[in-house]
Amino acid sequence: KKVILDLEDVCFMDSAGIGLIIGRYKVTKAYGGELEIQNASSNLKRIFNMSGIEKIIKINEDEIMKVNQ
């Protein structure tokens, strides 16, 4: 029920990326889940602040533990 978007390797985001995140947020919310953003760079956090995403989606400051398979 929890979707985590790991943005560690993302260095650029435009309106299409913001639209994708908002779309996934709406779908996840419709199924009773929650969406969380992980490992966002300072530039991405600034974009999320300007777009208002940080008001509706949790942006986790802690690093996620990765499991290599």
Question: Among 29, 46, 32, which Cα is nearest to 18's?
Answer: 46
Full DSSP string of the chain? -EEEEE-TT-----HHHHHHHHHHHHHHHHTT-EEEEES--HHHHHHHHHHTHHHHSEEE-SPPPP---
pLDDT digits (tens, 9 = 90+) for 3-27: 999 999 999 999 999 999 999 999 9
Q: What is the pTM of this model?
A: 0.81
pLDDT at 5: 95
Q: Which of 7-16, 45-54, 59-68 has the lowest mean pLDDT?
A: 59-68
State yes or no: pLDDT of 69 exceeds 90. Answer: no
Q: How many CB atoms lie within 10 A of CB 54?
A: 16
pLDDT at 67: 52
pLDDT at 20: 96
